[in-house]
A and B are shown apart, each in its own frame.
Chain A
């Protein structure tokens, strides 16, 4: 039969309960009357007949119950009843409920928030076709030659493309000149990803070959922000670095590659005839799609063979042994989400999971303590015939209801927490824009709530409804001997809480110490009042080196004349710009093999640079007015270079040269500065005068020391550029303090979060210990009173109670230290100059936690000893 009328009847029975009950009563009355009437008809007295009829019929209430059960509504009703009962019980003890819900909300909310980030950054598949087949082949930067050979010679990949990430483009022409982040890509990139444009086309084959019209594909964001989502955009011309490009397509809103901030894609120029560029410009990443059934190991072998052939083809620009041995093929997802982000998020997920465990243990303890108080109620219900499964179901409903309310409150926290997290996370964390409390996250939260409810609810429930309940009916659960098993369980839970708190606090301590060490690092230059900004003359219109020289000269003059600026200089690369210009150099007396040149940081600087930065000269001399374009080439090196190549001897007068002929004489040594990261190992750096620098002009960075406020210094800088050259965009305007702050965003975030989790765990652990000891002390009030009455000193009694707490704390701390020793090695990569087994942390943390636990047991113990013995004994 159809189920619909059946359920309609059941629902009617459920919701129109009184009507249905009345019908049943009517039917029963009719039956009784007929029965009685028949008896009267047979000669019985009417009153007696009615009594007999009732007797035969059986219990009225039982009839009702059975009738309802037959109608199939008992199960639903039980649930409703349990929920109502649970709500009443929880509302009857608001303090317990609030504490439990708050604890759970914190645990579940923190987990939901962290999981939202993990979900968006690590779990959600990349927005490409079958992304698991996409590999970062020969992971690392490569020349165009290496890319084309892999593309053409491999036998293991379906399609191969190359891209160069974070390329700055100066956009001019219509609107304000702007600096945009884009990527150079080979023509087939979109094909490899399996991505289709929302408007127009992606690149055609051959768009990356010389002699073709320059094309550009825009991101949805750029199309909207700069072009007002103009549908007629296809075919428009766009000026990039002074070169006209044709807009051929716009990608859909969901598409990004290789990062969200990438605003446009321009074909890389694969021109074999420009040999230096083709073989020597590294920085292209290779992405390939696996052929079906091919393993990463097979691709590795395949590419290794190609690398060997490359060494024969061009012995000068050649992959070194090191480069071939380290050859790796990794999933594209691991390239896009760097392992530091992955490790950080997984550590946080683990930490926040521990917080939830602690929260559950706390609520379980609350339930146990309360359960003992409810023993009498449960026993009465069991005696009156409630079946054990029914009682367990009732108690489980109560726990799940509690967890449900906690989860809802936690979701509220999570919504706020996610926004907070996104604000705090290091800005270079990939896919941050995708972080949200999504459907998947809600599911996770619901799962957590059920898990938490079962975790903290089931054990006490089983215990409460256990077989030896009848015994407790008599004593009502206030005598000293009862509840020992409960107390032991509660003790294990509290020790576990303390152990997890120790783990979290040790982790937080290590990260915090590491962070302090990082902040204590001297960057090697003055950071206060420093501002930097990038100026990028469009390459195509600024072809004459003399034009650049004049522009930078005039810019410097204007800056020095500005009252807002105390000192200024210009360089191709300021510290903490998060990029690095490097150069292969021959070091006279050190280099022996032309194939193994030294890689150094290469800095072109104008006069005033070192003064503005506050970098001191260690020996030799500064660049002078005589070090002009046509004068003999000179260079300064930093202490790191002096140490590495001249180890102890005086480098002044020593010589370097570029990969082409012509010696450069070293005239002095300056202090080493940190490059992009305070934790960097120093890399040798060479400074050359801007006017003598090789390799055509490029964008430069102005560094200026503000006379008073950084804001007005930057404003003066912008104004000076606008007046001198309106088509030159100024971008990336930041103070040095901001730059350094950003560079430590990850360790700051990690230590801040772990510290909050550690603090949360400490508070929860303390509350748990306090709760248990208060409960224990209360249960032992009578015993304590008797002992005090018999002359025991308060101190001894106090010692006995506190001793119990101390034993728990000691057990928890020892287990926690063992766990921490096993777990902190996962932090190794996140620690700077701090060992994962840092002795100070491993001594201080247990001391602090032990002290907190002792205090938490001392307070209730002291209260117990102050109770008047007479009152305590009389409460029995």
Chain B
């Protein structure tokens, strides 16, 4: 089963995934979507229509920065880098997510 992100429902989750992915190093948009798909073993598929708005939103908030660079394939691409503020946000969001998912799991198991 694969889950395709939709902008309304999982905006927060998508941003968390992007921040996490970028914590491993700068990456372009297509790379981010591919990375998420691979690390989630093809379960999470990021819709491009929500990926880029999410990236711009993160940029607007100052959690990621963007520069044009050359991809390993030799093409001109826009690379996103996690900022210090973004790293802090990632820590906060990860903790919150763990708490939330743990609680949901707990609820689901105790029926």
- Given contact pairs A1-B61, A5-B62, A67 touches B56 in the complex (Cβ within 8 A): yes
| Interface contact A27-B78, CB-CB below 8 Å | yes
Q: Which of B17-25, B44-52, B101-109 contacts A (4 or more CB under 8 A)?
A: B44-52
- Given contact pairs A5-B62, A34-B30, A58-B47, A69 touches B53 in the complex (Cβ within 8 A): yes
Please tell me if B92 contacts chain A, counting CB pairs below 8 Å: no
Please tell me if A28 contacts chain B, counting CB pairs below 8 Å: yes
Q: How far is the CA of A797 from the CA of B19 in the complex (A)?
A: 76
Q: Which residues of B contact A2 (CB under 8 A)?
A: 62
Q: Which residues of A contact B53 (CB under 8 A)?
A: 66-67, 69-70
A interface: dominant SS: helix
The residue among A9, A34, A58, A63 with the most chain B CB atoms within 10 A of its own CB is: A34
Please tell me if A56 contacts chain B, counting CB pairs below 8 Å: yes
| Interface contact B49-A57, CB-CB below 8 Å | yes
Question: Who on chain A is nearest to B62 by CB?
Answer: A1
Q: Which residues of A contact B56 (CB under 8 A)?
A: 67, 70-71
Q: Which chain A residues in 29-86 approach chain B with CB under 8 Å?
A: 30-31, 33-35, 37, 56-59, 62-63, 66-67, 69-72
The residue among B29, B49, B61 with the most chain A CB atoms within 10 A of its own CB is: B49
- Given contact pairs A30-B76, A30-B78, A63 touches B49 in the complex (Cβ within 8 A): yes
Q: Which chain B residues in 7-57 approach chain A with CB under 8 Å?
A: 7, 28-30, 47-49, 52-57
Partner of B48, one of A1, A10, A57: A57
Q: Which residues of A contact B61 (CB under 8 A)?
A: 1, 6
Binary contact track A1-31/B, C-beta < 8 Å → 1, others 0? 1100110011000000000000110111011
| Interface contact B75-A30, CB-CB below 8 Å | yes
Q: Which residues of A contact B52 (CB under 8 A)?
A: 24, 27-28, 31, 63, 66-67, 70
| Interface contact A71-B77, CB-CB below 8 Å | no
Q: Which residues of B contact A69 (CB under 8 A)?
A: 53
- Given contact pairs A1-B85, A67-B56, A30 touches B77 in the complex (Cβ within 8 A): yes
| Interface contact B60-A10, CB-CB below 8 Å | yes
Q: How far is the CA of A6 from the CA of B60 in the complex (A)?
A: 6
Question: Who on chain B is nearest to A62 by CB?
Answer: B49
| Interface contact B29-A27, CB-CB below 8 Å | yes
Please tell me if B59 contacts chain A, counting CB pairs below 8 Å: yes
| Interface contact A30-B28, CB-CB below 8 Å | yes
Q: Which chain B residues in 59-98 approach chain A with CB under 8 Å?
A: 59-62, 68, 71, 73, 75-78, 85
Q: How far is the CA of A72 from the CA of B53 in the complex (A)?
A: 11
| Interface contact B48-A26, CB-CB below 8 Å | no
| Interface contact A9-B59, CB-CB below 8 Å | yes
Q: Which residues of A contact B47 (CB under 8 A)?
A: 58
Q: Which residues of A contact B59 (CB under 8 A)?
A: 9, 71
| Interface contact B62-A6, CB-CB below 8 Å | yes
Least distance between B21 CB and chain A CB atoms (Å): 15
Least distance between A61 CB and chain B CB atoms (Å): 11
Partner of A30, one of B30, B49, B55: B30
Q: How far is the CA of A406 from the CA of B71 in the complex (A)?
A: 57
| Interface contact A56-B48, CB-CB below 8 Å | yes
Least distance between B76 CB and chain A CB atoms (Å): 7
Question: Who on chain A is nearest to B56 by CB?
Answer: A70
Q: How far is the CA of A34 from the CA of B77 in the complex (A)?
A: 10
Least distance between A30 CB and chain B CB atoms (Å): 5
Q: How far is the CA of A35 from the CA of B31 in the complex (A)?
A: 10
| Interface contact B48-A31, CB-CB below 8 Å | yes
Q: Which residues of B contact A27 (CB under 8 A)?
A: 28-29, 52, 77-78
- Given contact pairs A63-B52, A66-B49, A31 touches B57 in the complex (Cβ within 8 A): no
Least distance between B28 CB and chain A CB atoms (Å): 7
Q: Which residues of B contact A26 (CB under 8 A)?
A: 76, 78
Q: How far is the CA of A10 from the CA of B61 in the complex (A)?
A: 11
Q: Which residues of B contact A6 (CB under 8 A)?
A: 60-62
Q: Which residues of A contact B77 (CB under 8 A)?
A: 27, 30
Question: Who on chain A is nearest to B89 by CB?
Answer: A1
Q: Which residues of A contact B62 (CB under 8 A)?
A: 1-2, 5-6
Question: Who on chain B is nearest to A10 by CB?
Answer: B60
Least distance between A138 CB and chain B CB atoms (Å): 70
| Interface contact A33-B75, CB-CB below 8 Å | yes
Q: How far is the CA of A404 from the CA of B27 in the complex (A)?
A: 49
| Interface contact A23-B48, CB-CB below 8 Å | no
Least distance between B91 CB and chain A CB atoms (Å): 16
Q: Which residues of A contact B48 (CB under 8 A)?
A: 31, 56-58, 63
Question: Who on chain A is nearest to B45 by CB?
Answer: A56
Q: Which residues of A contact B30 (CB under 8 A)?
A: 30-31, 34-35
Question: Who on chain B is nearest to A72 by CB?
Answer: B60
Q: How far is the CA of A34 from the CA of B55 in the complex (A)?
A: 18
Q: Which chain A residues in 343-392 approach chain B with CB under 8 Å?
A: none
Q: How far is the CA of A332 from the CA of B42 in the complex (A)?
A: 85
Q: How far is the CA of A6 from the CA of B63 in the complex (A)?
A: 11
Q: Which residues of B contact A35 (CB under 8 A)?
A: 30
Q: Which residues of B contact A34 (CB under 8 A)?
A: 30, 73, 75
Q: How far is the CA of A845 from the CA of B92 in the complex (A)?
A: 77
Question: Who on chain A is nearest to B50 by CB?
Answer: A66
Q: How far is the CA of A10 from the CA of B60 in the complex (A)?
A: 8
Question: Who on chain B is nearest to A53 by CB?
Answer: B48
Least distance between A739 CB and chain B CB atoms (Å): 74
Least distance between B90 CB and chain A CB atoms (Å): 14
Least distance between B66 CB and chain A CB atoms (Å): 9
Least distance between A23 CB and chain B CB atoms (Å): 7
Least distance between A474 CB and chain B CB atoms (Å): 35
Least distance between A452 CB and chain B CB atoms (Å): 37
Least distance between A309 CB and chain B CB atoms (Å): 80
The residue among B29, B56, B59, B60 with the most chain A CB atoms within 10 A of its own CB is: B56
| Interface contact B76-A71, CB-CB below 8 Å | no
Q: How far is the CA of A35 from the CA of B49 in the complex (A)?
A: 14
Question: Who on chain A is nearest to B29 by CB?
Answer: A31
Q: How far is the CA of A730 from the CA of B40 in the complex (A)?
A: 105
Least distance between B62 CB and chain A CB atoms (Å): 4
Least distance between B110 CB and chain A CB atoms (Å): 39
Q: Which residues of B contact A24 (CB under 8 A)?
A: 52
Q: Which residues of B contact A10 (CB under 8 A)?
A: 60
Q: How far is the CA of A172 from the CA of B47 in the complex (A)?
A: 96
Q: How far is the CA of A350 from the CA of B57 in the complex (A)?
A: 53
Q: Which residues of B contact A5 (CB under 8 A)?
A: 62
Binary contact track A568-605/B, C-beta < 8 Å → 1, others 0? 00000000000000000000000000000000000000
Q: How far is the CA of A30 from the CA of B79 in the complex (A)?
A: 12
Q: How far is the CA of A28 from the CA of B7 in the complex (A)?
A: 18
Q: How far is the CA of A753 from the CA of B55 in the complex (A)?
A: 64
Q: How far is the CA of A63 from the CA of B47 in the complex (A)?
A: 11
Q: How far is the CA of A71 from the CA of B71 in the complex (A)?
A: 24
Question: Who on chain B is nearest to A65 by CB?
Answer: B53
| Interface contact B57-A70, CB-CB below 8 Å | yes
Q: How far is the CA of A6 from the CA of B59 in the complex (A)?
A: 9
Q: How far is the CA of A184 from the CA of B3 in the complex (A)?
A: 94
Q: How far is the CA of A282 from the CA of B21 in the complex (A)?
A: 94
Q: How far is the CA of A576 from the CA of B7 in the complex (A)?
A: 85
Q: How far is the CA of A10 from the CA of B57 in the complex (A)?
A: 11
Q: How far is the CA of A69 from the CA of B47 in the complex (A)?
A: 17
Q: How far is the CA of A32 from the CA of B62 in the complex (A)?
A: 26
| Interface contact A58-B78, CB-CB below 8 Å | no
Least distance between B74 CB and chain A CB atoms (Å): 12
Least distance between B37 CB and chain A CB atoms (Å): 11
Least distance between A796 CB and chain B CB atoms (Å): 63
Q: Which residues of B contact A67 (CB under 8 A)?
A: 52-53, 56
Q: Which residues of A contact B71 (CB under 8 A)?
A: 30
Give 16 new A-B contacts, CB below 8 A, not counting A9-B59, A31-B29, A31-B48: A23-B78, A24-B52, A27-B28, A30-B30, A30-B71, A30-B77, A35-B30, A57-B48, A57-B49, A58-B48, A66-B53, A69-B53, A70-B52, A70-B60, A71-B56, A72-B60
Chosen A-B contacts, 21 in total, with CB atoms closer than 8 Å, are A1-B61, A9-B59, A23-B68, A26-B76, A30-B28, A30-B29, A30-B30, A30-B71, A31-B48, A58-B48, A58-B49, A59-B49, A62-B49, A63-B48, A66-B49, A69-B53, A70-B52, A71-B56, A71-B57, A71-B59, A72-B60
Going nearest first, the 3 A-B pairs with the smallest beta carbon separation are: A70-B56, A70-B53, A1-B62
